[in-house]
Structure 1
Amino acid sequence: MSSPVPSSNPSDPAVKPAAIGPAPVDSVLPFSVSPLDVRGRVALLGPAVDAILKRHDYPKPVSRLLGEAIVLTAMLGTALKFEGRFTLQTATDGAVDMIVVDFETPDRIRAYARFDRDAVEAMPASEAQPERLLGQGHLALTVDQGVHMQRYQGIVALDGTTLEEVAHQYFAQSEQIPTRVRLAVGEVMSRQPGEAPSHAWRAGGVMVQFLPEAPDRIAHRDLAPGDAPGGLDDEDGIREDEDDAWVEARALVDTVEDHELTDPDLTPERLLVRLFHERGVRVYEPHPIHDRCRCSREKVESMLAQFSEEEKTDMTVDGEIVVTCEFCSSVYRFRADEV
């Protein structure tokens, strides 16, 4: 069943135009460009993504890949109009065989990557690209509204494509909403007087979606030129019947460079002005993002209680059962007789 991942629609009456001043770091800023009938989101993550990536001492290629997944999840998760969870998860045969990014409304995010360190470190830098690290498999996007509501999931194949391309495929196939996504992750170097140089991870993203009032203005999903029927421009993959407004919006987003999404001196508002100054852009109240795990001693104890006595005995070492959270690395210790 396809997942009803919400569009980037900031028109909810509860959402008011943003107050004067730039959106803070670790936030997602909704926006709309009425003349082009597009709505979208700009994500700017600093300390939150830096804490997640440094917590596990990931190799740099793995950090960049997981950072992209965190940004994509933040942009999609903050679009939920109800209390719940949005989860992005991959399962592949690559050097990074699993990624899990979990967003809980309204603002909590956590993430984890499982990888083969030897395989990653053996890859030449020129080959350690996100699509190569992922390999073949699938990506699942899951919306969970709680125990009393139906759970929805959309699945997209991973076959050597980037997370940006996977997002395009998902919205074209499952939601039938023309969508463009740009993701970037980078390191910011700094040095205080008398101190050694330090670095911090930053991540950013921008997503636009074509949401005209007249649904007949949305053309069918993009097709590769070699597979397309007549009516497709073979040179650039643009359908002849695609709406001019969407073609313009998509082309503008495609001009965004990685450094613009991670530059500490470039606010989301300034980026949007660069892109849409000729058309006019309206921004809305930003959504904060916090690095917060959902684990607790009570939840871990409840989980352990579900194991058989034999299984708990196998887990016991020196009279203790020790559980480490894969997301936040918190360690929980229990005496064998406690569980």
Structure 2
Amino acid sequence: MTEDLRNDDTGFDRVLAFTVPARHVRGRVVRLGPVLETVLSAHDYPKVVKHILAEALVLTALMGSLLKQENAQLTLQAQAEGGAVRLLVCDYRDGELRGYLQHDAERAPLLEEDCSLETIFGKGYLAITFDLATTGERYQGVVPLEGASLAQACENYFAQSEQVPTLIRIAVRSNGVRCVAGGMLLQHLPDGEEGRERLHAQDDHPDWEHISILGSTIQDGELVDPVLNLEQLVWRLFHEEDEVRVEPLAPLERGCRCTVDHYLSILSSFPEDQRVEMRDPDGLIPVDCAFCSKVLRIPA
């Protein structure tokens, strides 16, 4: 693996959108490299916890890239009790990706690979929220944290909340020095259904059965292999189709909003007496950003 990981040849930190028009299918493939490492480096996460956050970031990039409006945001949040992980939050906005995970420092290092969501989280829920900045609309779906993976929980979300047959595949690979992750999302949108309630989408539709079988053949190694770029990956899966349209989307970046101006705008909404209580002996208000592990001292 070369030092320059972020480029078109490897596909790292990119999202590729594609459609198979004759089958009424849309898809996304993503591969995370340096952006993922930057997010994970903010905290000393145990191995299994690191892989959970990596999976969540891939899911957030896949689903967030479905948004078409500028400044629209997708937030993926898992909250639970009784497990090693208490809180997971990731969001995507205009190609910017960030994430944070809160875990039990004693129990999390004892987690084994391939354990269930219930073992990791205990009892909880997964919330997926779409915020559309242009219209001010917000859509949220909530599903239980059940199944073998976060990807499976997201498939359940699309089946229950959106009535959209969805296939998601995620892979995470770490060699102790670097961590890379990749994923693919496929969805069936029959004629006339995009933009309204999809009452007629069905898991046993012949077109969807055909495409989902092809999509299920993808291997973990293909999703994270830097030698295989994203266009080649899509071609390998669907080269027998009459037409496959691809569209490279904007490169992904690690985004965090922990600036003095951002926090000033938030603190300005608090009454003066509360801001006085927040001040430290130097008259500044310390603000801890969980996403990037920075503490900013804001002028009060």
Q: How many Å apart are 1:48 and its aligned residue?
A: 0.5
Whether 2:103 is the aligned partner of 1:115: answer: yes
Q: 2:165 aligns with which of 178, 185, 188?
A: 178
1:103 partner amino acid:
Y
Structure 2 residue aligned with 1:233:
none
Structure 2 residue aligned with 1:270:
232
Structure 2 residue aligned with 1:249:
211
Structure 2 residue aligned with 1:203:
181
Aligned to 1:331, the other structure's residue is in SS state strand
Q: 2:291 aligns with which of 301, 307, 327?
A: 327
Tell me how far apart the structure 1 counterparts of residues 151 and 250 of structure 2 sit (CA, whole Å): 22
Q: CA RMSD in A?
A: 2.5
Tell me how far apart the structure 2 counterparts of residues 243 and 180 of structure 1 sit (CA, whole Å): 14
Q: How many Å apart are 1:302 and its aligned residue?
A: 3.3
Whether 2:46 is the aligned partner of 1:59: answer: yes
TM-score (norm 1): 0.76
Tell me how far apart the structure 1 counterparts of residues 219 and 90 of structure 2 sit (CA, whole Å): 24
Cα pair 2:57 2:90 within 8 Å, conserved? yes
Q: How many Å apart are 1:330 and its aligned residue?
A: 2.5
Cα pair 1:61 1:130 within 8 Å, conserved? no
Tell me how far apart the structure 2 counterparts of residues 263 and 113 of structure 1 sit (CA, whole Å): 26
Whether 2:89 is the aligned partner of 1:100: answer: yes
Aligned to 1:199, the other structure's residue is in SS state coil
Paired residues in the alignment total 285
Structure 2 residue aligned with 1:87:
75
1:40 partner amino acid:
G
2:287 partner amino acid:
V
TM-score (norm 2): 0.85
Structure 1 residue aligned with 2:36:
49
Tell me how far apart the structure 1 counterparts of residues 192 and 275 of structure 2 sit (CA, whole Å): 59
Q: How many Å apart are 1:156 and its aligned residue?
A: 1.3
Q: How many Å apart are 1:67 and its aligned residue?
A: 0.9
Q: Deviations over 1:233-275 (max 9, x none)?
A: xxxxxxxxx2222112111211222221111212112211221
Whether 2:255 is the aligned partner of 1:292: answer: yes
Runs of 4+ in 1 over 6 A off after TM superposition: none
Tell me how far apart the structure 1 counterparts of residues 192 and 90 of structure 2 sit (CA, whole Å): 35
Aligned to 2:293, the other structure's residue is in SS state coil
1:261 partner amino acid:
L
Tell me how far apart the structure 2 counterparts of residues 131 and 220 of structure 1 sit (CA, whole Å): 29
Q: How many Å apart are 1:303 and its aligned residue?
A: 2.9
Structure 2 residue aligned with 1:227:
none
Runs (5+) with no aligned partner, structure 2? 1-7
Aligned to 1:153, the other structure's residue is in SS state strand
Cα pair 2:117 2:145 within 8 Å, conserved? no
Structure 2 residue aligned with 1:301:
264
Q: How many Å apart are 1:55 and its aligned residue?
A: 1.8
Tell me how far apart the structure 2 counterparts of residues 131 and 259 of structure 1 sit (CA, whole Å): 26
Q: How many Å apart are 1:22 and its aligned residue?
A: 4.9
1:77 partner amino acid:
G
Cα pair 1:65 1:130 within 8 Å, conserved? no
Q: Deviations over 1:28-85 (max 9, x none)?
A: 1011223433110101111111110122121111111111111111111111111221
Tell me how far apart the structure 1 counterparts of residues 84 and 17 of structure 2 sit (CA, whole Å): 34
Tell me how far apart the structure 2 counterparts of residues 51 and 249 of structure 1 sit (CA, whole Å): 34
Q: How many Å apart are 1:321 and its aligned residue?
A: 3.2
Tell me how far apart the structure 2 counterparts of residues 35 and 127 of structure 1 sit (CA, whole Å): 37
> Against the structure 1 CA distance between its residues 61 and 278, is the aligned structure 2 distance closer, same or farther, given a 3 Å change threshold?
same
